[in-house]
Amino acid sequence: MKKILITILALILTLSVFVGCDAPPKDGGEKTDDVSDTDNGERTPGNVTPEPDDDVSKSYVNNKYFYKTRYPKNWEITSDDEDIVTFTSDASAIFKPNANLKIEKGTARDKTAEEYVENAIEVLAEFISEFELIETGDRENEANWKGKYMKYSGKMAGFNLIFYQVVFVKDNNAYLFTFAADEENFDTYLEESIMMVDKWEFF
């Protein structure tokens, strides 16, 4: 049977709906949604080059949002428009485990990662058939980013899937990692892909 790749782009884009993209700050001040600022309040796209591959991973650099991370050497980038990048595993499965990194610029104004996740759960429960929240908790990476994670299951496109999503909030932006796989492949490929969260940092 021909392998089918189904990414979770639609799922991640749904998160934009409930975070109030254009909502004004509560204090009435001006919107600030750059990851970090220079003296004139803006940053131009960078020109950082990827680091060399090692035995287990490759380097990914996003010069638009000034971050970098690493991903498993046996995975490939299957789409990248800088706002969202999709990584796909080498699994021999009809549904290939995959992960996305997505930046929701300016959508997390006045929201903590915990509030972001609480809102996400409400939306996902309506969006995903047979949605079941498995667990939520705190998540910190090697760069000391502090955020929240949620693990949940549901049915999409006829597949019974398990999802693991991490949300970091910084400077009004939401940084999202979302991984999806079927039950058989979930643990193995989550363990591989989680380096994208652990190695995520700004430059």
Q: Which residues contact 11 (CB under 8 A, 6 or more apart)?
A: 124, 127, 128, 156, 163, 178, 180
The predicted-structure confidence for 98-156, as pLDDT tens digits, reads as follows 999 999 888 777 889 999 999 999 999 999 999 999 999 999 999 999 999 999 999 99
For CA atoms 37, 39, 44, 49, the dihedral sign is: negative
Contact predicate 21/106, CB 8 Å: yes
- Residue 136 amino acid letter: T
The predicted-structure confidence for 13-58, as pLDDT tens digits, reads as follows 444 434 433 333 333 333 333 334 333 445 555 677 778 888 999 9
What are phi and psi for residue 114, nearest 5 degrees? Answer: -65, -45
Contact predicate 112/173, CB 8 Å: no
pTM of the model: 0.81
pLDDT at 95: 93
Domain topology for 9-19+55-202? Protein Transport Mog1p; Chain A (3.40.1000)
pLDDT at 8: 53
pLDDT at 44: 58
Nearest to 195 by CA among 147, 125, 142: 142
Contact predicate 43/175, CB 8 Å: no
